């Protein structure tokens, strides 16, 4: 997969988990980035800072990302 395009995105409210896919010698490797989207003016910009109330949502987004990655391994095994 093209490294500039995410393999999958999960958005729960303002929290976004982005899953990236990279082909390596051993197969496919996934990485995940997590951001909180913050509205500044008329644009939504990602930030790496999370408020206390964002943490349960972030945990759920990361859990869903992990589930999606595990499902991909099952689909292509």
What's the predicted TM-score (pTM) here?
A: 0.85
Q: What is the mean pLDDT of residues 4-18?
A: 95
pLDDT at 51 over 60: yes
The rounded mean pLDDT for the chain is 91
Cβ 11 vs Cβ 18: under 8 Å: no
> Which residues, including other chains, have CB under 8 Å from residue 27's CB and lie 6 or more apart?
none
Kindly tell me if the per-residue pLDDT of 1 is higher than 60: no
| Every domain of the chain and the residues it spans | 8-75
């Amino acid at each position: 997969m093209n490294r500039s395009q995410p393999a999958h995105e999960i958005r729960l409210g303002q929290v976004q988990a982005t899953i990236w896919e990279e082909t390596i010698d051993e197969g496919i490797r996934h990485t995940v980035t997590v951001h909180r989207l913050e509205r500044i003016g008329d644009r939504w910009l990602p930030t790496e800072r999370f408020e206390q109330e964002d943490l349960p949502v972030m945990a759920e987004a990361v859990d869903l990302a992990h589930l999606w990655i595990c499902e991909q391994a099952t689909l292509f095994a």
